[in-house]
Chain A
Amino acid sequence: MLVDFELIKRAQGGDNAAFNEVVLAYRKRILGTITRVIARPEDVEDVAQEVFLRLYFSLDQLRTPEVFEPWLYRLTVNAAYDYLRKQRRRPEFRMSDLSEQQVLMADAVAGGKVEHEEQYQKKIRESVDALLGAVSEADRILLMLKEVEGLSLKELEKIYQVNENALKVRLFRARQRVLKAFGASPKGKEPATAG
C-alpha cells in the first residue's frame, strides 16, 4: 500500500485534502499502467483522470480500506476498457498500419532521423500493440496486467472477482491467440527481440 488506511478513511469521509494525497501517491503507478494498456501516450492523462474521477465519486462504496488497491486497479481496468472500446468504434490512422518504408518516410518528413534507441522502443510498442490486436479489449487488458505489469493470479482474482481457474483459462486462450499472431509475424520468425 502506498498510503495508510487512515488516509483512505479520511478521503472516504469527504476530506478533499486526503483524497488529494491519495491521488498524488497513486497517479504515477496508474499513469504507467494506462500507458502500457492503451498504448496511446496522448490520451494517458485523460484516462488516468477518468480513473480518479470515478474513484472520487465511488469511494463511499469501498467497504474496507484493505481492498483499496485491487479496487483502484478495477477502476483503472474499467476506464481503460471503455477507452479501448471507444477507440475501436472510432478507427484512426496509426503508424503501425504503415509499411516500414512509409514509417521511415514519415519520420523523415516529421523532422529527420530519430535516435536508435527511441526507434527501437517505438518498434517494440508497435509490435506489441499489433500483436494484441489479435485479442479482445478485455483480454488485452488482462494479458497486460499479467505479462507486462507482472500481477499475480491472486491479485488478478481480487481485481476481477472471478476464481483463479477461470482466469487461468482465459489467460491461456488469450496468450495462445497472441502466440499464433506472433508466429505469423516477421518478428516471431526472427531469432530474438533484443535491441
Chain B
Amino acid sequence: MNLRGSQDDQLNALFQAYRDACPAPEPDVNFMPHLWRRIEARQNSAFSFRRMANALVTAALAATMLLGVYTAVPHNKAADYSMTYVEALADANSIDTPDIVAPVRLDLSEASR
C-alpha cells in the first residue's frame, strides 16, 4: 500500500475513533425547561418588536394623512400665486391711479388747420 493510501486508511480510522470518543451526552434534566424559557423569551421580544413596529406604522400613516389633508386644503397664499404677472400688476395699480395714465398728447398743428 502506498503512503497516501495508508494515510487515507489511518485518517478513516482516526475519524472512526473520534466518533467513539465523542458519544452523545445525556441531556441535562433542565434541557426542556430551559428550551421553553428561551422560546417564551424569544416570543416576548418578538411580540414587543411587533407592537413597536405597529405603532411606527400607525404613526407614519397618521402623518401621511395629515400631510395629505394639509396639501389638499386651498390656502389664500396659493390663490395669490396663481395670478399672472399682468393680473397682479393690474390689481396693484387700478385704472384710476394717475401715475400709469399716459400723458395726453395734443397735436396743436392739426388743430390750427
Contacts and interface: CB of A to CB of B under 8 A. Distances in A.
**Do A and B belong to a common assembly?**
yes
Interface of A: 20, 23-24, 27-29, 31-32, 35-36, 39, 41, 44-45, 48-49, 52-53, 56-57, 120-122, 124-125, 127-128, 131, 147-149, 175, 178-179, 182-183, 187-188, 192-195
Contact of A194 (B13, B19, B39): B13
A28 B27 contact: yes
B18 A49 contact: no
Contacts of A183: 7
A121 B27 CA distance: 21
Interface string B64-91: 0000000000000000000000000000
A128 B18 contact: yes
Contact of A53 (B22, B23, B35): B35
Given A128-B15, A148-B19, A179-B4, 14 more contacts: A23-B32, A36-B19, A39-B22, A45-B25, A49-B31, A124-B14, A147-B15, A148-B18, A178-B11, A179-B7, A188-B7, A193-B10, A193-B14, A195-B17
A116 to B, nearest CB: 13
For this complex, into which size category does the number of interface residues on chain B fall?
20 to 34
A27 B31 contact: yes
B14 A187 contact: yes
Nearest to A147: B15
B28 interface: yes
B21 interface: yes
A49 B30 CA distance: 11
Interface of B: 4, 7-8, 10-15, 17-25, 27-28, 31-32, 34-35, 38-39, 42
5 contacts: A124-B18, A147-B15, A179-B4, A179-B7, A192-B13
B25 A128 contact: no
Contact of B27 (A27, A122, A147, A187): A27
Contacts of B34: 45, 49
A35 B24 contact: yes
A75 to B, nearest CB: 14
B25 to A, nearest CB: 6
A192 B24 contact: no
Given A53-B42, A124-B17, A148-B18, A31 B27 contact: yes
Contacts of B11: 175, 178-179, 182
B8 A179 contact: yes
A8 to B, nearest CB: 17
Contacts of A149: 19
Contacts of A125: 18, 21-22
Given A36-B22, A49-B34, A188 B17 contact: no
